[in-house]
């Protein structure tokens, strides 16, 4: 992270001053020698606006970083560190790791969509034709505990978590699947 910030700061200084594009050349003070004489009547192009924009972005990142550190220090009660040093993550006051641990898709009973407590949708009021389009492509049943992958495909929560543990890719488009990036959908 700090090397990335240093490279961006060097790029901003390069755009402002026009020298030392490479960070190592800036550190070592290496300058290029030109065989053509410099024309005093021609101004070289200026990219100082790009340098200013990069500096603004770096300043924004610094402020965001400082705020997140200050906010993280004040929020110790909610985001306690676990033994392995990671933070607990919550979805609607439910611990994500507990949601992932207790899922056994092979042995989980199929519950009717009308009994899905994780949706605000009145499934009984949906016409039968529209309900047919709510099927999960993994279990071929009506979707319950709907969730979306990063690629936008919808599955049952238990189905996609079970699939993701076996194969870390979307079963439809084969895009990489990260279980921590699944998004619960409460209105579908």
To the question of pTM greater than 0.85 for the whole model, the response is no
Give the pLDDT confidence score for residue 185 in this predicted structure.
Answer: 83
- pLDDT above 60 (res 76): no
For residue 79 the two structure tokens come to 């985001």
Asked if pLDDT for residue 1 goes beyond 90, the answer is: no
Domain boundary assignment for the chain: 2-74, 90-184
Dump pLDDT digits (tens) for 17-34. 888 888 888 899 888 888
* Secondary structure class of 119 (helix, strand, coil): coil
Average pLDDT of the segment spanning 145-155: 89
User: What 3-state class would DSSP assign to 70?
Assistant: helix
Q: Residues 33-60: what's their mean pLDDT?
A: 88
C-alpha–C-alpha distance, residues 38 and 46, integer Å? 16
Q: Closest by alpha carbon to 157, among 117, 114, 99, 109? A: 99
CATH architecture of the domain 90-184 equals: 2-Layer Sandwich (3.30)
What percent of the chain lies above the pLDDT cut of 70? 69
**pLDDT of amino acid 13:** 92
Separation between Cα atoms, residue 160 and residue 154, nearest integer Å: 9
Question: 3-state DSSP call for residue 157?
Answer: helix
């Amino acid at each position: 992270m700090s090397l990335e910030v240093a490279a961006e700061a060097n790029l901003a200084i390069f755009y402002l001053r026009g020298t030392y594009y490479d960070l190592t050349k800036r550190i070592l003070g290496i300058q290029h020698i030109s065989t053509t004489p410099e024309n005093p009547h021609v101004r070289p192009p200026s990219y100082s606006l790009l340098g200013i924009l990069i500096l603004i972005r770096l300043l924004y990142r610094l402020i965001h970083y400082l705020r997140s550190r200050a906010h993280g220090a004040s929020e110790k009660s909610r985001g306690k560190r676990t033994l392995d040093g990671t933070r607990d993550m919550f979805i609607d006051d439910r611990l994500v790791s507990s949601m992932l641990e207790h899922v056994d898709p092979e042995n989980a009973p199929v519950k009717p969509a009308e009994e899905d407590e994780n949706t605000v949708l009145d499934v009984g009021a949906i016409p039968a034709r529209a309900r047919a389009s709510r099927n999960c492509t993994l279990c071929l049943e009506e979707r319950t505990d709907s969730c979306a992958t990063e690629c936008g495909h919808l599955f049952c929560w238990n189905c996609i978590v079970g699939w993701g543990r076996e194969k870390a890719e979307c079963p439809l488009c084969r895009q990489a699947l990260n279980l921590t990036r699944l998004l619960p959908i409460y209105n579908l």
